[in-house]
Amino acid sequence: MNDEPDLDLAAEDLDRPDLDPGDWPAFRALGHRMLDEMIDHLETVRDRPAWQPVPASARARLGTALPAKGTPLATLYGDFRETILPFPTGNAHPRFFGWVHGSGTPTGMLAELLAAGINANLGGRAHAPILVERQVIGWCRELFQFPDSTAGLLVTGTSFANLLAIAVARTDRLGAAVRRSGLRDGPRLTAYAARSAHGCITKAFELLGLGSDSLRLVPTDRTFRIDITALRQAILADRAAGAVPFLVIGTAGTVDTGAIDDLASLADLAAAEDLWLHVDGAFGALAMLSPTLKGRLAGIERADSLAFDFHKWAHVPYDAACVLVREGDLMRATFATEPPYLARYERGAGAGAPWFADYGIDLSRGFRALKVWFTLREQGSDKLGAAILKNCRQAEALGHAIARASELELMAPVSLNIVCFRHRGLPEAKLDALNKAIVVALQESGVAVPSSTLIDGKLAIRVNLTNHRTTGADLRIFLEAVRAEGARLAPQMAGEAQA
């Protein structure tokens, strides 16, 4: 009797070609060329425009149908060099000031290459990349003086980190049973954040079923920080109306002006009112790396949860962020599952419990911890902190220069690294249009990339400084360009209005 399996291991369809290069030496040579040219690209970033629009020819080439047949790698690389590489966001350039984007480092680029080569899934199991992420989380606990009970996770960005933290706060108030029963029969929960809070906070409430109506957006004071008195009044009003306040969200570095909420007062209030304190520290939290700046974040160490990005002021390549939760068991109670196909073992590749998948939503997780690990180890906290302090000093200097310029007006205090101002070359009714035109003109010229925002309902030119390559000369070039564009555009717009 033949007990061998009925399987033809020599069958042709079991032995088709794989996806590796057919010519490894040629692949190696092209790979070295790619690496050399990308290093050249970073080394000469200052020589190119800060930004330029994608031309119609490149848009057309990037809009073709799904290919059925393969394309030689050398051809693909040529397409990349012609249609993609010249037209990036621009945040590597020292005069990219528009949005809070980190500028990256050459070492971070190499770490991405290494991580892709390993191609690890950090959802769990027993392998060295897991230990790298655990070490990074441990460094974060140390930086923010969180206790050993803290759990953490590296995620795509602070928007996602905020979502996870708010979910844990919901579990803290309603218990883990909310995962099964939902919110329908529970109390009417309310939460509080400043009007200046990032829009992702509102999205989180919508996605978690709490509803944006349950998020109270509290007024800010003259320094654009959450008004503590107004916050207390909102909590009292909700309790009187039968609602259950459960969460207050502070911001360490608001997106409009860089303001830092009074985190120590928020921590006192949260303790007195039995509220979960979450801090959205997307970029500002890493000011903790600077001994000169860390005092501005006093109270952050008392937060129940904290979210922040590495891809901003730590200059790790996109994307990499972190969420920390003081009570790690509560985080696990919010997210952990263990279906049969994810059984944990005491030994073998399935060991290593608890897995990172137990602390968040994703089971498939990239090895983003490696580029953070490389960056923190290569630069060290002292050097990163010095780069952050430099940006804040640059913002102060730019603010002083604007205040001294008769045709310019500072629109908000410079509290960290963001400067909001406007050109005053036309009557008030025309200033929004003038300053918007200046922003677009600077971007399209390639000289610099500012953005805009609204301060007290007025359009302001917004300069964010989170670039380690920016120098004082770059700020002078930018300010001269603003004044020149204002002098050029104001008469034109005045003439159009008269016509």
- pLDDT tens digits, residue range 6-32? 666 566 677 777 899 999 999 999 999
For 85-135, the pLDDT digits (tens) are 999 999 999 999 989 999 999 999 999 999 999 999 999 999 999 999 999
Residue 298 is predicted with a pLDDT of 98
Amino acid letter at 494? A
Percent of the chain with pLDDT over 90: 94
Alpha helices by DSSP H, 336-471: 369-404, 428-445
pLDDT confidence of residue 185: 87
pLDDT of residue 8: 63
- Taking only the tens place, the pLDDT of each residue in 28-72 is 999 999 999 999 999 999 999 999 999 999 999 999 999 999 999
Cα angle value 431/436/437 (rounded, 5°): 100
**CA torsion, ordered 206, 207, 209, 213, to nearest 10 deg:** -10
What are the tens digits of pLDDT across the range 321-355?
999 999 999 999 999 998 999 999 999 999 999 99
pLDDT tens-digit map of 186-198: 899 999 999 999 9
**Helix 369-404 with 106-118: angle, nearest 10 deg:** 150
Name the phi and psi angles at 291, rounded to 5. -55, -30
Is pLDDT at 442 greater than 80 in this prediction?
yes
Q: Flag whether pLDDT at 476 surpasses 90.
A: yes
pLDDT digits (tens, 9 = 90+) for 365-403: 999 999 999 999 999 999 999 999 999 999 999 999 999
pLDDT at site 15: 73
Beta strand 189-194 pairing with 276-280 = unpaired
Alpha carbons 213 and 205: distance in angstroms, whole number? 9
What is the dihedral sign for C-alpha 348, 354, 358, 360? negative
Instruction: Give the pLDDT of residue 94.
Output: 97
pLDDT tens digits, one per residue of 456-468: 999 999 999 999 9
Could you count the other beta carbons within 10 Å of the beta carbon of residue 309? 28
Question: Residue 496: what pLDDT?
Answer: 73
3-state DSSP helix/strand/coil percent for the chain, to nearest 5?
A: 50, 15, 40
433 pLDDT band, cuts 50/70/90, is: very high
Q: Could you tell me the pLDDT band of residue 5, with boundaries at 50, 70 and 90? A: low
Return the percentage of the chain with pLDDT > 70, whole number: 97
Check residue 279 and give its pLDDT.
98
Q: What pLDDT does 2 receive? A: 58
Q: What is the DSSP letter of 483?
A: H
What's this model's pTM, rounded to 2 decimal places?
Answer: 0.94
H helices of 293-368, in order, are 328-335
Q: What average pLDDT does the structure give for the chain? A: 95
